[in-house]
Amino acid sequence: MKNQWFEDRKDLLFKNLVHSFIESKIFFDELYHRYQKNHTIPYERMDFWIGSDNKKGPLWMLKDNSHKLFRKTDYKISLSEYLFDWTLGSIFHEGMKLKEDVYQLEVYLPTSESIDTSDDGEKIEKILAEYVKVIDTASKNLEAEMECIHHLFSKAGERLKESLVHYAPNGLLARFILENKKLIDIALGKNSSKKIIASLYPQPESIYLVAGTSCYEGGWFTHAIKYFKRSLAINPHNPEAKQWLKEIEKRA
């Protein structure tokens, strides 16, 4: 039995998932470049991104929403969708480990500066050296985890681009792509938005028709006119765009 609430909101849920993924990848890429430069990751940033059971962060919610969309559903999903969801789960679990190691390095780094070493400073320094080994292990884990998440995000991005072809009729997604080309290119690589549009809409004017129809159905007539006119600028003979503009004129 189909979940009607889910069916009615599927387009919105998928568009939101794509948006959340783009933002999370950009967030991580900034952390990754910072780490490459100075080998530090602020725990505050990891805590914000991951969150906790009581206050889930963006990555945690991204993972949960992906599972809801692709796992708790009545319809079969594509291999690309399955792998995208699986990879997000792996990113989340690696992120949890990364968060713990960052916390250990930031909060529990041993130092003799705050300890009274007047009685047996040499012995205390020796004991602390053993704890430094634990921290050194956390540092090595940090490097491995950062590289792992970086690799997984790259794979997830590829699987997402493959999955998008199943959602070409999604007007909310079409509008998101058109309105966030720069964001998409930052997250998925130079000219990614252009390549995505070409793969989803072989006829260049089609994405504007899909976006315009979505705006029309939502009552956003000014935006709909803009998209339909953009479609006609590409193909002046497109009858569908002309018909939609006539429909809007009737409502004016």
State which H helix or E strand residue 176 sits in.
helix 171-179
In a domain, residue 28? The reply is yes
In a domain, residue 134? The reply is yes
Domain span at 160? 4-167
Residue type, 235: N
Token pair in block for residue 173 = 């997604």
In a domain, residue 194? The reply is no
In a domain, residue 252? The reply is no
**Tell me: the pLDDT tens digits for 61-95?**
999 999 999 987 777 899 999 999 999 999 999 99
In a domain, residue 201? The reply is no
In a domain, residue 173? The reply is no
**Tell me: the pLDDT tens digits for 175-212?**
999 999 999 999 999 999 999 999 999 999 999 999 99
Give the residue from 202, 184, 242 showing the smallest Cα distance to 15.
184
Per-10-residue mean pLDDT, the chain, length 252: 71 96 98 94 95 96 95 84 97 96 76 58 63 69 94 98 95 97 96 96 96 95 96 95 92 72
In a domain, residue 214? The reply is no
The answer to whether the beta carbons of residues 241 and 231 sit under 8 Å apart is yes
Number of folded domains that form the chain: 1
Share of the chain above pLDDT 70, in %: 86
How far is residue 21's CA from residue 27's CA, in Å, rounded to a whole number? 10
